[in-house]
Structure 1
């Protein structure tokens, strides 16, 4: 068992050892203040439990159960969390207890609130900020995502009946985190516990974020997270593939790595970089492309001091403003298949490894589904079968590891305005759960490990 059993409980309950441990953890934890979630008095009968434990990994589901209510009592369940920028995100849903006074979110539907229907993890993915255009910031893997759950009466001004704290860790016990400053590389290396051998993955983030890399390390991959933009995008006049080649070499030298090549995981601008890594560099066995472009976006791409891909430019006149203050930029990138952009298309048919393409059909950042279709057609024309493609109806751009708050709109660091990301929250959350499992299966399938390779490096 990775974490000690901890059942959330309320003040005044007669508890066993497991609950006492949890109550001590809750009261001593540096949990965030969530406004109304500080009770003056709580019922001595109602119990709120998070199963199988109150401390888990970020990408693990929890079962939320309430007991001790009156038969058929209507209550409101709330969740709240503060991100790294100090922004408070909240959700709420109204439930009716069964005849025994129990509520189980795996079974019972929300009647109203942030979502309706049976949604076991709805209180997590439906959390949003009170102000517009805020994205939940969780880029550092050292601190857990702390969520305060609470049960409130419908009457009595929403008096709190019970509460519990869920710590959702990005790094499991034994995973090492090492900031990397070697040669030109600036990134963070995550290594699983144990001797290995482990497959190696390069996580290409548009802007530096440790979440996906640390969660993959929890699942048995050695992962190096690097960013496309290590400085302000306006200051970046070109990108050099040599930087990512250096990162691949660094990964393959790690003593616990047993794969003969690496996998690459990417989204958005990182997507076309990942395609270029797979097409132009040796040693890439698998590449995951999520909601990106099939051509090189924004700035020229160089390799060995020569330009290998020209940029697809952005037409700001095609940005569509909305009443919310956020814009749709989906149609701003010029057509990759236009004659003037042919030199920008990534020659993915050159790749020796396998591809996993994933597109949200309601992506409002890029025309990702169309780009994915163009890549599939290109590979088929070249007689290639080294790809899988996934299309998610009603999912948007920000497909991430599951159970984080869905983001409708936020400030875009490249185009320098608030943008709409697209997607319907429930469908988007379901797509994240499915895609996260597929990514891990894909990488394990195509990154073969050899124990003799890791031993040879010792």
Structure 2
């Protein structure tokens, strides 16, 4: 370590997961070239790291907000590049940070270009749950999940988070949204707690129960709740908005326009068969991960039309967000189908937005970009698509857009923001 070199994270080394920080270095020699690194470990113990080469200015200072990386895991002026460009030590691994009480701890360091001697280091604690936000596990009736409630008397809007379709539970998105002033219930669909490890069908009754649980909560106000989805849970969110009462605003991220993979049932009868996929249309690549973009069957073929969800019957509003380079499945075409269907029925209760060069997994910003990982439904490693820099920028914009959408369509009253005192 060099006592004259200082590495600072501003405004604080402790912040929320979705907040940017300013990384600054001082005390270097004039025009000195150094390597900056970031390193973190996820919940499985997988190590993620990044590095970038910088040249100090005449005063021996580096400011990532204005100085470009010359080489490394990213190049150019990217203030948060050390975070989103972190890669796992092994191929096809996705960064796992699902438990809200575990912060994302990142060690930043500055090293001599030659020899690699450490000149300075600082540790950032990027928390997923704000001060004053309560976290309560839910095991009521059929519901298995976690409820996040902001500090203050409320009322707050309620949001049901269907993070993604898979075994287990993810709390990250729900806990971060609760900080913004929402009561958020994130639920597991299978494989969590005492739930079945595998399923043969999906029951819409489960989501109806979760929506009613939220609406009856003492701190939840407003006419109805919001739903936030991703991937397979996108078509579940569409079905909930279409068939269930009390859904005012639905966020659909890289989902499908039809009911996929599993039959959908409600009140003990099937309302949609499953749109299936053909593994023969999953294309292998030299990376060891495959492309599943064209694996799903065409929902507009006569034999598949029963899988299409009649979204024109929904009473709430939709926000459709899609990545133009989604390699998991063709979510862009699905969004176009949804928009065309709503317009055909004279509906204007939607907004749609696409992100060039972004991949399938759009999440809260500043986590490591994932190019590929194992896909439980496909049963193999899948490329998610996207270019790291563009994907990272899309996540920043998407996260703000979701909050803007919910504020416009779920606010209980004009005083809601005054009732929130949660912070980092």
TM value normalised by structure 2: 0.95
Deviates more, 1:379-388 or 1:411-420: 411-420
- The question of 1:211 aligning with 2:172 is answered yes
- The question of 1:381 aligning with 2:344 is answered yes
Give matches, 1:115-154, under 5 Å: 115-154=74-113
- The question of 1:160 aligning with 2:121 is answered no
Displacement of 1:410 in angstroms is: 0.6
Structure 2 residue matching 1:400: 3-state secondary structure? coil
Residue 135 of structure 2 is matched in structure 1 by 177
CA deviations 1:52-93 (Å, max 9, x no partner) are: 000000000000000000000000000000000001000000
Structure 1 residues 396 and 451: alpha-carbon distance in aligned structure 2, compared to 1, 3 A threshold: closer
Q: How many residues align?
A: 411
The CA distance in 2 between the partners of 1:228 and 1:66, in whole Å, is 46
Give matches, 1:268-287, under 5 Å: 268-287=231-250
Displacement of 1:260 in angstroms is: 1.8
Displacement of 1:340 in angstroms is: 1.1
The CA distance in 1 between the partners of 2:119 and 2:216, in whole Å, is 55
> Contact conserved, 2:249 with 2:317, CA < 8 A, in 1?
yes
Residue 418 of structure 2 is matched in structure 1 by none
Structure 2 residue matching 1:429: 3-state secondary structure? helix
Residue 202 of structure 1 is matched in structure 2 by 160
Structure 2: 5+ residue stretches without partners: 416-424
> Contact conserved, 2:37 with 2:49, CA < 8 A, in 1?
yes
Residue 238 of structure 1 is matched in structure 2 by 201
Structure 1 residue matching 2:412: 3-state secondary structure? coil
Of the three residues 263, 266, 286, the one matched with 2:229 is 266
Whose radius of gyration is greater, 1 or 2? 1
Of the three residues 425, 428, 440, the one matched with 2:391 is 428
- The question of 1:316 aligning with 2:279 is answered yes
Displacement of 1:326 in angstroms is: 0.8
CA deviations 1:254-284 (Å, max 9, x no partner) are: 1111122000000001100000000000000
The CA distance in 2 between the partners of 1:412 and 1:364, in whole Å, is 12
Residue 252 of structure 1 is matched in structure 2 by 215
Structure 2 residue matching 1:444: 3-state secondary structure? helix
CA deviations 1:20-45 (Å, max 9, x no partner) are: xxxxxxxxxxxxxxxxxxxxxx1110
The CA distance in 2 between the partners of 1:116 and 1:347, in whole Å, is 46
Residue 23 of structure 1 is matched in structure 2 by none
Structure 1: 5+ residue stretches without partners: 1-41, 453-458
Displacement of 1:233 in angstroms is: 9.2
Give matches, 1:104-119, under 5 Å: 104-119=63-78
> Contact conserved, 2:191 with 2:198, CA < 8 A, in 1?
no
CA deviations 1:388-445 (Å, max 9, x no partner) are: 0010000000000000000011111222211100000000000000000000000110
Of the three residues 291, 312, 322, the one matched with 1:328 is 291
Residue 367 of structure 1 is matched in structure 2 by 330
Structure 2 residue matching 1:91: 3-state secondary structure? strand
Of the three residues 304, 308, 314, the one matched with 1:345 is 308
TM value normalised by structure 1: 0.88
> Contact conserved, 2:190 with 2:197, CA < 8 A, in 1?
no
Displacement of 1:451 in angstroms is: 9.5
> Contact conserved, 1:196 with 1:451, CA < 8 A, in 2?
no
Residue 97 of structure 1 is matched in structure 2 by 56
Residue 187 of structure 2 is matched in structure 1 by 226
Residue 45 of structure 2 is matched in structure 1 by 86
Structure 1 consecutive aligned stretches of length 4 or more whose deviation exceeds 2 Å: 227-235
CA deviations 1:98-124 (Å, max 9, x no partner) are: 001000000000000000000000000
> Contact conserved, 1:125 with 1:406, CA < 8 A, in 2?
yes
> Contact conserved, 1:72 with 1:96, CA < 8 A, in 2?
yes
